[in-house]
Chain A
Amino acid sequence: MKVEQISVFLENKSGRLAEVTGILARAGVNIRTLSLADTADFGILRLIVDRTDQANKVLKETGFTVAKTEVIALEVPDVPGGLARILSVLDAAGVNVEYMYAFARQSADKAIVIFRFDELDRAIQVLLDAGVRVLKGEEVYAL
C-alpha cells in the first residue's frame, strides 16, 4: 500500500534542478511525478520514480543528500468534491496531512494524489474503511 518517495536537498540556486534531473536521465531513471517544496534558502525535491534504488544510488554518488520516505497514492474521482470527500474522511479521523501533491498523469475520470501523513498506517486503514482506493507501490512505479 505504501509508495517509496525519494527526497533530495537542493540549495536555492540556479541549475540545481537541472543537475538532478540530468543525473537521473543519464542513469535511465524515469520520473513518474515530483513536487518541490521551497524556502528562501533551500528546496526539497520529492520524487517518485520507476527505479527508486537506482535513483537513490546515483544521486548519493554525485554528492546529493537523499532520504527515502514512504507516502501513499490515492485514486481520487475527477469530479467536483472528489478530493474534498477524502480530506473530510481524514479530518474526521484526526489524521494529519503533512503534504500532498498531484500525480502528473492524464486519465479519463480518476486523478492520483500523493499524500504524506504523520501516521501512515492508520491513514491507510481509515481510507480503506471509507472505500477509497489506495494504489500499491508497483502500480505507481509502473504508471
Chain B
Amino acid sequence: MIWNEEYETLPREALEALQLKRLRGLVDRVHGTVPFYRNKLEGAGYRAGDIASLEDLSRLPFTTKADLRDTYPFGLFAVPMERVVRIHASSGTTGKPVVVGYTRRDIDTWAELMARTLSCGGTNRGDVVHNAYGYGLFTGGLGAHYGAEKIGAAVIPMSGGNSKRQIMLMQDFGSTILLSTPSYALNLAEVMVEEGVDPGSMKIRCGLFGAEPWSEAMRREIEKKLRIDALDIYGLSEVIGPGVSSECLEEKHGLHVFEDHFLPEIIDPVTGKTLPHGQAGELVFTTLTKEAFPVIRYRTRDISRLITKPCTCGRTHLRMERISGRTDDMLIIRGVNVFPSQIESVLIAVEGVEPHYQLVVTREESLDVLEVQVEVNERIFTDEVKGLEGVARRVEHDIKDLLGVTCKVKLVEPKTIQRSEGKAKRVIDMRKI
C-alpha cells in the first residue's frame, strides 16, 4: 500500500529534477542563514549557484556528529526560535546530547514520512497501532505517533516498559500494528509465552521495527514467534527521526529511502570518496526539505549499500540495504576496508558455519595478515582432515571473492571465542603502527 502515490512512484527523471531543485534551495538557504554552514561551504570553495547537477553534491563538505556537538544546542538551527515548534534530543551516552528542532512544516513532513512508513506495512484507517517506541526527547515515539494519526489509524501511545500490561492492552484493544524496537518485540513474544498467551490469538499482523540494527535471522525469529510480518525501518534524529526509509511488505528486502526528502550517498569512510551504487560503505544523508534543522551530507557511521534495482511494490525510490554495521568497527587490511559484519555474512552463507568468529590482525614484515578464527561445530566437523580443510579453504575463498582480501582461516574449538553480553569481541588488532 502506497501512501503518496504521486511522489513515491515519481519516474526517476522527474524525481532527480525535483531533488536538484530542492538541493539548490537547501544549500542557498543554509549558506544564508547558518554561519557554521556558510564557513564550511566557503572554506570548500563554494560560491552561490555552484550546484549545477546532483553530482555536485559530492563537492560539498560533510557534517559530522562532532559538528553537532560543537554547535550545541541550537547552533545549526536554520530558522529563528519563533518558528520552532518542537525540540528533540538524542540519548547521547557521553557528554551533551545532539539537539534537533522542527518547524510546523517539518512536523507535517515527518508525519507524512511516517504515514508512508506505516503504509509500507499495510496500515490503514481502522487499524489499531500499538506504539511501544519511547515517547519523550527520543524521536521514535512521537514521530511514529503523528504518522499513525495522519493515516487515520487509532494510535495507542504506549511507550516502552511493563510488558505484561502491554500484552494485556494489545489483546483487549485488538491492536493490529506493532511499533517497537526488534529486541523489544522478541521480549514481548517471550513474555506472552510465560503468561500463557498464544501469540497466534493476537490480532497483530505487522510490526515495524527500527532504532537498532538487527539481522535477517532475527526477522525470521520475530515472524515465527509472533506470527506477523516484520519490517525494518530506519531513521535517526539528526536527519529527522524515524521515517527516513522503510522496507515494503512486497519484497522485505532493502529499505526505500524517501528520496524526495532525503538524498542518500554511500562513501568510503576513510577517503570520503563517493562510492558507486551497489558498493558497501558509510551512509550519508542530505535533507532536502527540512526547515529548522537541515543537514548537508551528514555522516551516519552506518554501513549500507544502495540498491537501484526497481522494486515490485512500485515505489521508484531506491533502497538501502539493512544496516550491516558501524564504521567505528572498520578495519583496514592492506588498504582494503573490511567490516566485521561482511566477514560474518560470508560465514553465515557457508552451510553449517556458525557466526562465532574473531579477527586477528598482525603485521609480518610490514604486511598486514588477517586471521579469521572460526569455531568448529558438529555440522562442519568430519573425521577427515580434508573435510575440515575444505571448509577453511572455502571460507578463505569466499572472503577473497567478496572483500578482495586474502585471509587465513583458523579452525578453533567451540566456545573458545570469548562471548560477552550479546556483543562478542570480534577484532584483535595486534599491529603496531
Contact = CB atoms under 8 A, between A and B. Distances in A.
B383 A65 contact: no
B381 A65 contact: yes
Given A7-B383, A99-B384, A66 B378 contact: yes
Interface in A14-37: 16, 37
A14 B58 CA distance: 55
Interface stretch (B28-36, B319-327, B409-417): B409-417
B191 to A, nearest CB: 31
A65 B379 CA distance: 9
Interface residues of A, number: 21
Contacts of B415: 63
A64 B383 CA distance: 14
A44 B388 CA distance: 10
Contacts of A37: 384-385
A65 B377 contact: yes
Interface string B118-129: 000000000000
B413 A10 contact: yes
A69 B384 CA distance: 10
Nearest to A116: B383
B279 interface: no
Given A9-B376, A39-B389, A65 B384 contact: no
A65 B376 contact: yes
Interface in B404-424: 410-416
Contact of B382 (A5, A10, A41, A67): A67
Nearest to B416: A11
Contacts of A16: 413
A5 B381 CA distance: 14
A11 B412 contact: yes
Contacts of A116: 383-384
**B378, B389, B412, B413 — most chain A CB neighbours (10 Å):** B413
Interface string B354-393: 0000000000000000000000111001111100110000
A132 B42 CA distance: 91
Contacts of A46: 383
Contacts of A41: 410-411
Nearest to A37: B385
A9 B411 CA distance: 9
A82 B238 CA distance: 80
Contact of A67 (B378, B385, B389, B410): B378
Contacts of A42: 376, 388, 411-412
B414 A65 contact: yes
Contacts of B382: 7, 67
A10 B376 CA distance: 10
A5 B376 CA distance: 19
A99 B376 CA distance: 21
A55 to B, nearest CB: 14
A44 B411 CA distance: 12
Contacts of A64: 413-414
A67 B383 contact: yes
A7 B384 CA distance: 9
A139 interface: no
Nearest to B386: A98
B107 to A, nearest CB: 55
A23 B222 CA distance: 40
A98 B378 contact: no
A76 B304 CA distance: 63
Nearest to B413: A11
Contacts of A66: 378, 381
Contacts of B384: 37, 44, 98-99, 116
A10 B413 CA distance: 6
Interface in B6-58: none
Contacts of B389: 39
Interface in A36-59: 37, 39, 41-42, 44, 46
Given A39-B389, A65-B376, A7 B381 contact: yes
Nearest to B383: A7
A37 B384 CA distance: 8
Contacts of A63: 413-415
**B377, B384, B412, B415 — most chain A CB neighbours (10 Å):** B384
A64 B414 CA distance: 7
Nearest to A64: B413
Nearest 9 pairs between A and B by C-beta?
A7-B383, A69-B383, A9-B376, A65-B381, A65-B376, A67-B381, A37-B385, A11-B413, A63-B415
25 contacts: A7-B382, A10-B413, A11-B411, A11-B412, A11-B416, A37-B384, A39-B389, A41-B410, A41-B411, A42-B376, A42-B388, A44-B384, A46-B383, A63-B413, A63-B415, A64-B413, A64-B414, A65-B378, A66-B381, A67-B378, A67-B382, A67-B383, A98-B384, A116-B383, A116-B384
Interface of B: 376-378, 381-385, 388-389, 410-416
Given A9-B376, A11-B412, A67-B378, 5 more contacts: A44-B383, A64-B413, A65-B376, A65-B378, A67-B383
